[in-house]
Amino acid sequence: MKHFLTFIFCVVTINLFAQKERYENLEIYKTKFDDAIPVLNVATFHMGETSDANSTDFDENDRKNQQEVKNLAKLLAEFKPTIIVIEDLPKNDSLRQISYSDYLKNPKKKFRNPSEIELLAYEVGRLSGAKKIYGIDFKESYNYNIKVENKVDKTTLNKYWKLSDENDAKNPENGIPFYDLFKLNNHPQYLESLININADLLTYISSKGNSEGADEAGKFYHRNLVMFSNLNQIPLDKNDRIFILMGGTHTAFFMDFLRRSPKFKLENTFDYLK
């Protein structure tokens, strides 16, 4: 009996020790306000004309494509946002609000060159009953193809592009169904790769004692920070729910901003991309 009790004590002690959570995994700080506003932060490829260096082959006037976008909008509208936020300049808000309000009254309205804003954001807003739409974009150019003589790091970029090509081969964007492409564009690892490709890889481009690439990357970081500042200028109340639709790289930056923000509570996009 004595040996049996000793055995039980040892088993319980081991289990308790095993169940003790590592300190770095403990929640020791409260990071969100009690009335933090839910945000669904969604990435999209540009469906209409775009000035972006990379674009996706998508006929925005094709009826089948438009129907697939509407089907997607139904899923995203389950979030029930009260406010729609898009990749457009705030100075366009007055005209954009008129256009959006017209669409709410007449969802069969035809647009000459519709983008993801008219095709997807408008429809998500209509289905969820959102009355307000805001642009938060900020334009700032930078040289993401900067060339530097006597570059110190001569290997990282080539190794990364090889790794990127391998990933692209396993997860092709061309020739896959629209919904699969949209899910790929919102995968966390895909979004992280966009920050690398569009900004962080520039930090490996420099001559000794200088930071030519980082100086350019800083401009793109600044652009996204200003966009987040623009988001924080939108009038909100505790009952609001925000749907954000932007290009993938902006979405990736906002994932970090929103995760750290005490004001906002980031929703899991894949709770709606079922």
Q: Is-contact 227 137, C-beta < 8 A?
A: yes
pLDDT in tens, 83-138: 999 999 999 999 999 999 999 999 999 898 899 999 999 999 999 999 999 999 99
Q: Residue 47 has what pLDDT?
A: 84
Structural element, H or E, at residue 226 = helix 212-231
Contact 263, 232 (CB under 8 A): yes
Q: How far apart are alpha carbons 115 and 61 in whole angstroms?
A: 10
pLDDT digits (tens, 9 = 90+) for 42-52: 999 988 555 55
Q: Find the mean pLDDT for residues 185-210.
A: 97
- Range in 17-21, 150-154, 229-233, 260-264 the model is least confident about: 17-21
Q: Which tokens go with 139?
A: 């334009």
Give me the amino acid identity at 273: L
- What predicted TM-score, i.e. pTM, was given to this entire model? 0.89
| Residue 28 neighbours by CB under 8 Å, 6+ apart | none
Tell me the helices (H) and strands (E) count for the chain, helix number first: 10, 5
Residue 206 has pLDDT above 80, yes or no: yes
Say which amino acid occupies 97.
Answer: Q
pLDDT value for 55: 52
92: burial class by Cβ within 10 Å (0-12, 13-18, 19+)? Answer: middle
Mean pLDDT of the chain: 91
What is the C-alpha R_g of the chain? 23
